[in-house]
Amino acid sequence: MDYYEYSVRICMALLYPPQALFLASVQEPVLHLEDDATLAGHPGESRMYAGMRRYLYWVRMAADVVSNVRKCDSCARQRVRPLARRSPLTLYRATMPFQDTAADIYGPLAWTAAGHRFILMITDWFTKLVRAIPMDGTTAVDCAFVVLDYCAAAYGPPDLLLSDE
């Protein structure tokens, strides 16, 4: 063995330490010890496998790690799940004052001296003007009367009135 081959073996031994081969009877306890490690705290599939493959080896080790993590209750509670797909939000562009408006009801609140318990908020999207009108009830008829009396009578009927009620 010449000097070059000897130095390559030393470098390989330092970079890739020898892996211990485990029998099937010892694999399950090793997986549980690695998953419940005090400092790691349920590292997940990829981190657990990356930590184990440096020093351990057995056939189908990656599949066993994935299976163990998927069976672990604590890992399942901490697993990050992808968000459900949602449609993109649409942007409403206002081009003129009082053309597009939004209305929303705030309440129920404490009763006022005048007997009102809700507030209807009407917002113009172009000017950002907000009108807060006190109301007794929240029926569709009550809201329509308030919008007609306070918004449409003063500024004209809007082309679009957006409400979630």
pLDDT digit string, tens, across residues 18-72: 666 667 777 788 787 777 766 667 777 788 888 887 777 777 888 888 888 888 8
Please tell me the predicted confidence (pLDDT) of residue 46.
80
Please tell me the predicted confidence (pLDDT) of residue 121.
94
The structural domains of the chain, ordered by start, are 3-78 (no CATH), 100-163 (3.30.420.10)
Q: 108-142, pLDDT tens digit by residue? A: 899 999 999 999 999 999 999 999 999 988 888 98
Angle between helices 45-53 and 24-35 (to 10 degrees): 120
pTM: 0.47
Per the DSSP assignment, residues forming a β-bridge with 54 are none
* Pairing assessment for the beta strands 100-106 and 160-163 based on DSSP bridges: parallel
Q: Is the dihedral of CA 80, 82, 86, 90 positive or negative?
A: positive
